[in-house]
Amino acid sequence: MNKNKLWIVSEFYYPNENSTGYIITNIVDKLALYSHINVITVGDTIKERSNNIYTIRIKEVESLDKNKLIQRIIKQLIISVRFLFSILKNVKKNDTVVTVTNPALNLIFLSVIKKIKKIKLIIIVHDVFPENLIVSGISNESKLVYKIAKRLFNYSYNKGDKLITLGRDMQKQIQNKVYNKDKVICIQNFADTNNIFPSQKEKNNILIENKIVNKFIVLFTGNIGRMQNIDSLLETICILNNDDDIHFLFIGEGAFVEKMKSYINENSLSNITMLPNMSREKENEFLNAGDVGLVSLVPNVMGTGVPSKTYSYMAAGKPILAFLDEDSEIALMTKEENIGWVVNPNNPIELAEKIIEIKNNKDEVIIKSKKSREVAVEKYSLDIITEKYSIAIKSK
């Protein structure tokens, strides 16, 4: 029997319901069906999900606001240091550590620990550091701190024995950072087709309560932040403000929420409803509140992130309106599977025109809706994707 332990290290894990937490929880549950799993994460101790799972929880930093940049950096630093001490204390020589790229500094610490303790290191890349700092406008390539960060993170990626990316564009991005390109593989996010499924729009309580059930709904869910191209989306919403049939429904939170609310008030926009995050228990309801699922990213972010909500839209049978780079994973999949439309992220006018075109072609929406659900079930279901993770983690 192999005495070496398997560790999963992630800032987000059960009961955290954000996308990373949900994905990691399901990967752990899958692995726990076959062997004992050890998890290091953040939060208070709660009852374990399985007898095969042992969880160490480090203290959360609750006094700092993640939506404020400086506070977020300080918070990430504190959490990373706490992870460092926990890993040094608990992980032994020749153990396997699977880590997510959150918190970011933890990746650098683990690359050093790997050398000290001779561990096997598998990195699940959800965010590509430090390039995502450029595309989100936080830094630029000329800054010394960015150049130093790039060297440190590239060193860390090279120390990984295997790197799992969420999309083909991200796979290429990481391959450009490492010497051994063969160790970089792609496993897309999953669609929870067991708990998310299509339902009738006419009976949707969210639409009924907000009196928009008879509108053509463009649905946006999840983080409303720096990466989501909010300025361009607001311009599109403003362009379509006089079209009484089209309504935008935003469900989520993030650093740009207040900016959106101010813009809506200043421009007297009546074609948008903003609601806060909703629990997983309401996920099937809010995902079925749209006619199309909007996925957006700022331009030129190739390979730095893959919006996981896309697969949830698909599970709910929603066609994808991809407002992002045409060679990104989501755009590629949308075109290859014929489950939606791709629009240049630099062009809010084109997006507005495409939404009008989609609204006026109900038959095409129905066809793409059905196909979206089929693709989610056949290629991206929970069992299919978590099995890929299980094979990748257990293989040499």
pLDDT profile of the chain (396 residues), mean per 10: 81 86 90 92 85 91 69 83 92 93 88 91 89 67 80 93 95 94 95 94 95 97 92 97 96 93 95 94 95 94 85 98 95 97 97 98 97 98 92 85
Chain-centroid distance, C-alpha 248? 21
Q: Is the peptide bond before 130 cis (omega within 30 degrees of 0)?
A: yes
| Distance separating alpha carbons of residues 383 and 332, to the nearest angstrom | 23
Whether 57 contacts 77, CB under 8 Å? no
**Residues of 133-164 as b/e, b for ≥16 C-beta within 10 angstroms?**
bbbbeebeeeeeebeebbeebbebbebbebbb
* CB within 8 Å of 151: residues ≥ 6 apart: none
Tell which residue, 295, 290, 334, 338, has the closest CA to residue 316: 290
pLDDT of residue 4: 84
| Distance separating alpha carbons of residues 234 and 271, to the nearest angstrom | 11
- Token duo for residue 230: 């909010």
Tell which residue, 231, 232, 274, has the closest CA to residue 253: 274
Alpha helices in the chain (DSSP H): 19-31, 69-90, 104-117, 131-135, 144-159, 168-175, 205-209, 230-239, 257-266, 283-287, 309-315, 329-337, 348-359, 362-379, 382-394
Whether 10 contacts 16, CB under 8 Å? no
| Distance separating alpha carbons of residues 66 and 18, to the nearest angstrom | 14
- Token duo for residue 111: 């690359």
Whether 357 contacts 1, CB under 8 Å? no
pLDDT of residue 1: 40
- Token duo for residue 350: 């084109």
Whether 188 contacts 166, CB under 8 Å? yes
pLDDT of residue 75: 82
